[in-house]
Amino acid sequence: MIRLLDITHQAGDRVLFSGLNWHIKPGERVGLVGDNGTGKTTLLRMVAGEVQPQSGEVVPRRGIQIGYLRQEIHESDLSVSVLEEAMKAFEKERRAQAEIHHLYESLTRTPVAEQGSLLERIHALEAHVFYHEPAVAEGEARKILEGLGFSQADIRRPLSEFSGGWQMRAHMARLLLERPDLLMLDEPTNHLDLQSIEWLEEFLGSFSGALVVVSHDRYFLDRITTGTAWLFQRRLRTFPGSYSKFVEQRQMEEEQLRREYENQQREIAHIERFIERFRYKASKAASVQSRVKMLEKMERIELPPGSRRVKLRLPEPAPSGRRLLELRNAGMAYGDNRVLWGINLVVERGDKIALVGRNGAGKSTLLKICAGVLDYDGTRIVDPRTQIEYFSQHRIDQLNPENTVLEEARPPGADASDETLRSLLGCFLFTGDDVFKPVGVLSGGEKSRLAFARLLLRRGNLLLLDEPTNHLDIATREILQEGLRAFPGTIVMISHDRSFIDAIANKIVEVGGGGARLYLGNYTEYMARKRSEAEAAFATAEGFVEARRQAAAGGLPQGRKAAECTGAMAAISLAERDRREARREAAEQRQMRNRRRAELRAEVARLEQEIERMETRLAEIHALQADPGAYSRGLVTPELGAEAKALEAAIPQALDRWEAATREYEELA
């Protein structure tokens, strides 16, 4: 679909890529990963044609359509409504329909001999319009916008009334509606709540094109990708399977490399001892020189940076009581908009609570009430021994731009040594001379990391954390995750990273509809409970439908049971049952189609590898047959000629199978 060949590129005086090669294939679903600053976004922009490599070549398939979601929107007409922004995805179809109308009008004025080319163009345009179904465009746009969190009332409002994050959602809806051949998403979950992320995962599961996604959400990568492309040391390596499998394979490789490195170091030490011992003995001069040359020729094994596992050890929190914080009948309104009411929440020693719910449900408001930074209704009780440390993104505005990173990392009253401070800062990607940079020159992400590191040194026994993983790559998130999991204090947090929540939380509080509901356990257990509740509700609904069916057949039970069934029948209509059955059938058909598409995707990949292998072998044989010297050396034999003929016959057959599989795959989109 698109190839990057021998790409070399640098930003300023820093080389990002050197001899990088990458082949993005049809239907491939790749997670592009690498440490912050390795060039993931630059590589996406290069594929999209926005950045030209300084050397090498980007070779796209002819006519390929690429959709690219950037981390930030640079240009957008904010006067249009949310729905109008999404409907821009069908601009090509609208233009195509206008051109079809114009061509039909021109057809009557065109000589018969020249009508053939016009009819071919009309046919191509009509096929394009039919494939993209413009008649149902608005309905499809509404469904996608709803999945991304917009209400039906919101979609008619202008974009200018929404925050940047919601504007990004509208732009994402437009890209998803375009159904490009290659969809590239750069941090798509940054502006989504958990429900919208789960909807996006379901949508991408049935997306027919190729997909490349950059994300720091490990759970998201595991759900939607079938391969991983790792940017490392200016090159790109690809791995089959989920992100978790990539991590396992990389850890195995690093362990093997570490063993080889240690063995080589022992061998080098042994040789150096021999050289040092016999350097001045004439009888050993030849042996010494032999070993000196051996060391010079030896290809030294280097351990990759970051292969050493960094651990974050948080300071021991101050002692606390059993019940650190309690809210009774708490609520909050912004003008006429009442966000929360009747909230009762108890935070006990050792709790690790995650607040979940849609954006706008009131999670951050509830966390601010806990922190005491908002006026609120109701009662807030804080134990005198509770020491609250509250982290939110606005904390970066409180940093002193004149201080160095090291100076600012030490909060007032903290007695941590420079060594302790530098160790903690290293966990947040401030290494070497970075700690001597003035805070004023740091990026927004760097300031956020510094503010969080500073907070962790205060020995708070109740940490209130609003999106602590923002601006952190996967490796740094995992370091923080391990540190917070081992933290003996108490945590209430908001995060959209489900693997982060899963590893830390022992309680989930679902915020929505103005209230808050407590679930015991981590995120996986919370989702299992939600599924169980949904299944129970569905089973109850099925029972109601059965009661209505009995009534329609004249078999309604008598007495108290009849009264119960009558009340049940009033709760749910037969039409609702029909809608559920239709949705279930549609879901089954979608699953069957997705399974078949997965089989075809694997078959296409296998055939591509087989064709490439056969073509490589045939080229080798042809090179031998073209070399006169190969005949005199006996390398060209009748068997070799027979193998060439077999390959010449097999390659077209394999290409036919590849074309048939690709066609069926695209038809199932």
Residues 6+ apart with CB under 8 A from 7: 17, 19, 20, 21, 22, 46, 53, 55, 56, 57, 58
Q: Is the pLDDT of residue 621 over 80?
A: yes
Joined together, the tokens standing for residue 18 give: 């050197």
Burial class (CB in 10 A: 0-12, 13-18, 19+), 299: exposed
Q: Is the pLDDT of residue 474 over 70?
A: yes
Tell me which residue of 269, 296, 273 sits closest to 284, measured CA to CA. Answer: 273
Q: 312 vs 14, which has greater pLDDT?
A: 14
Q: Is the pLDDT of residue 651 over 90?
A: no
Domains of the chain: which residue ranges? 1-65+180-241, 76-172, 247-297, 528-572, 583-667
Summarize the confidence of residues 470-474 as an average pLDDT. Answer: 78
- Give a three-class secondary structure readout of 29-41: EEEEECCCCCCHH
341-358: per-residue pLDDT in tens?
Answer: 999 999 999 999 999 998
Q: Is the pLDDT of residue 577 over 70?
A: no
User: Which of these ranges, 182-196, 223-237, 371-385, 533-547, has the smallest mean pLDDT?
Assistant: 533-547
Is-contact 332 447, C-beta < 8 A? no
Is-contact 204 212, C-beta < 8 A? no
Is-contact 153 112, C-beta < 8 A? no
Where does 108-217 have alpha helices with state H?
115-132, 137-147, 164-178, 194-205
Summarize the confidence of residues 72-94 as an average pLDDT. Answer: 80
Summarize the confidence of residues 442-447 as an average pLDDT. Answer: 75
> How far apart, in Å, are the Cα atoms of 618 and each of 23, 188, 641, 648?
22, 44, 10, 8
Summarize the confidence of residues 591-604 as an average pLDDT. Answer: 79
Is-contact 241 227, C-beta < 8 A? yes
What's residue 545's pLDDT? 59
Q: Is the pLDDT of residue 565 over 60?
A: no
What's residue 547's pLDDT? 58
Q: 336 vs 213, which has greater pLDDT?
A: 213
Is-contact 386 319, C-beta < 8 A? no
What's residue 569's pLDDT? 46
Is-contact 450 378, C-beta < 8 A? no
Is-contact 561 586, C-beta < 8 A? no
Is-contact 644 618, C-beta < 8 A? yes
Residues 6+ apart with CB under 8 A from 54: 8, 9, 10
Tokens 């006026």 belong to which residue? 375
What's residue 226's pLDDT? 93
> How far apart, in Å, are the Cα atoms of 313 and each of 373, 464, 482, 484, 531?
28, 18, 9, 9, 36
The Cα 44–Cα 185 span in angstroms is 9
283-333: per-residue pLDDT in tens?
Answer: 778 888 888 888 988 888 877 655 545 677 777 888 999 999 999 999 999
Q: Is the pLDDT of residue 123 over 80?
A: no
Percent of the chain residues past pLDDT 70, beyond the cut: 88
84-114: per-residue pLDDT in tens?
Answer: 888 888 877 777 777 787 777 787 777 777 7
Q: Is the pLDDT of residue 592 over 80?
A: no
Summarize the confidence of residues 494-511 as an average pLDDT. Answer: 93
What's residue 559's pLDDT? 45
What's residue 132's pLDDT? 54
Mean residue pLDDT of the chain comes to: 83
What's residue 164's pLDDT? 79
Is-contact 389 455, C-beta < 8 A? yes
What's residue 2's pLDDT? 93
Q: 390 vs 420, which has greater pLDDT?
A: 390
Between β-strands 337-348 and 2-11, what pairing exists: parallel, antiparallel or unpaired? unpaired
Q: 8 vs 100, which has greater pLDDT?
A: 8
Summarize the confidence of residues 159-177 as an average pLDDT. Answer: 88
State the CATH architecture for 583-667: Orthogonal Bundle (1.10)
What's residue 571's pLDDT? 44
Q: Which helix (H) or strand (E) element contains residue 324?
A: strand 323-334
What's residue 515's pLDDT? 92
DSSP string, 192-247: --HHHHHHHHHHHHT--SEEEEE-S-HHHHHHH-SEEEEEETTEEEEEES-HHHHH
User: Which of these ranges, 30-44, 195-209, 387-401, 484-498, has the smallest mean pLDDT?
Assistant: 387-401
Instruction: Tell me if residue 2 falls in helix, strand or coil.
Output: strand
The Cα 661–Cα 603 span in angstroms is 7
522-563: per-residue pLDDT in tens?
Answer: 999 999 898 888 888 777 766 655 655 665 555 544 444 444
What pTM was estimated for this model as a whole?
Answer: 0.66
What's residue 568's pLDDT? 45
What's residue 614's pLDDT? 86
Q: 130 vs 12, which has greater pLDDT?
A: 12
Highest mean pLDDT among 9-23, 422-436, 530-544, 641-655: 9-23
Tell me which residue of 183, 228, 147 sits closest to 44, measured CA to CA. Answer: 183
pLDDT grade for 74, boundaries at 50, 70 and 90: low
Tell me which residue of 374, 340, 344 sits closest to 512, measured CA to CA. Answer: 340
Q: In what order do the strands lie in the sheet with 323-334?
A: 337-348, 323-334, 377-382
| Residue type for position 116 | G
State the CATH architecture for 1-65+180-241: 3-Layer(aba) Sandwich (3.40)
What's residue 212's pLDDT? 96
pLDDT grade for 37, boundaries at 50, 70 and 90: confident
What's residue 415's pLDDT? 67
CA 316-319-320 angle, 5° bins: 125
143-161: per-residue pLDDT in tens?
Answer: 999 999 898 888 999 988 8
Q: Which helix (H) or strand (E) element contains residue 25?
A: none
Burial class (CB in 10 A: 0-12, 13-18, 19+), 335: exposed
DSSP string, 574-604: HHHHHHHHHHHHHHHHHHHHHHHHHHHHHHH
The Cα 209–Cα 668 span in angstroms is 11
Q: Is the pLDDT of residue 494 over 90?
A: yes
What's residue 233's pLDDT? 84
